[in-house]
Structure 1
Amino acid sequence: MAAAATSAVPDQPLKAQAAGQVPFDLSQPPDIEGFTPLTKIRDESFKEKFLRKTKENPFVPIGCLGTAGALLYGLRAFHQGKTRQSQMLMRGRIFAQGFTVVAIIVGIFATALKPKQSR
């Protein structure tokens, strides 16, 4: 019976850890067998990323500017009491929003179909 109780205990004793001690180093990524993480090339600033994305799909910022312009001008016309002009500008805003959504979808498909570049 004593042999059965000792078989559940491993041959080597467990390392005693103090309370709150972590069994691995948090400053380093974990070492996972068979996994090779991709190296991060470099960080880019907001301005650099915005310019890169605008060059990749210039219709999205154009649609956003059109949407914002129609909204602001339509609200101004509404405030001035020009209801017909305001209504037409709100319809234009809806059109600009649709244009922006289509531009985003086309950009996603174009990016997905583009062959991968090795960096």
Structure 2
Amino acid sequence: MAAASTPSVASAPITQPSGAVPFDFSQPPSIEGFTPLAKRKEETFKEKLLRKTQENPFVPIGCLGTAGALTYGLRAFHQGKTRQSQLLMRGRIFAQGFTVFAIIFGVFATALKPKQ
């Protein structure tokens, strides 16, 4: 059986000429036939919240209604007012349904809106 041997090739380290940089990380790569889109300004949390609230104002209203009914319902439950607590929990369910409906309506309205 003959032993397979790989030819030994002296591999010299690949060096770049002094001063030449293979890739400049401060600039995007140049790709033929490709033009990148302009970079959008990053939104802060507050700007995004205001934009989303203006697009669909019923979602924050529903969220606030849900949180309010839950808070007052738990307070009434803690005070022993069972009738009021039950009514507020039912109101919370209604507010949650309103919020879900508002989200679904907003998604459909956004999908049907023509792109700019």
TM-score, normalised on structure 2?
Answer: 0.71
Aligned to 1:116: 115
Which structure 1 segments of 5+ residues have no match?
1-14, 17-23
What residue identity is the alignment partner of 2:71?
L
Which structure 2 segments of 5+ residues have no match?
1-12, 15-22
Which of structures 1 and 2 has the bigger CA Rg?
2
- 1:37-61: CA deviations, max 9, x gaps? 5433201111111111100000000
Partner SS for 1:116: coil
Tell me how many residue pairs correspond in the alignment: 100
For 2:104 and 2:25, the matched residues in 1 are separated by 39
What do you get for the CA RMSD once the two structures are aligned?
2.7
Aligned to 1:98: 97
Partner SS for 2:43: coil
% same residue: 83
The alpha-carbon distance between structure 1 residues 27 and 98, as it changes in their structure 2 partners (threshold 3 A), is farther
Which contiguous aligned blocks of 4+ residues in structure 1 show a shift greater than 3 angstroms?
24-39
Aligned to 1:10: none
The alpha-carbon distance between structure 1 residues 109 and 33, as it changes in their structure 2 partners (threshold 3 A), is farther
Aligned to 2:39: 40
The alpha-carbon distance between structure 1 residues 74 and 39, as it changes in their structure 2 partners (threshold 3 A), is same
Aligned to 2:9: none
Deviates most, 26-35 or 85-94: 26-35
Establish whether residue 49 from structure 1 lines up as the match of residue 37 from structure 2.
no
The alpha-carbon distance between structure 1 residues 25 and 105, as it changes in their structure 2 partners (threshold 3 A), is farther
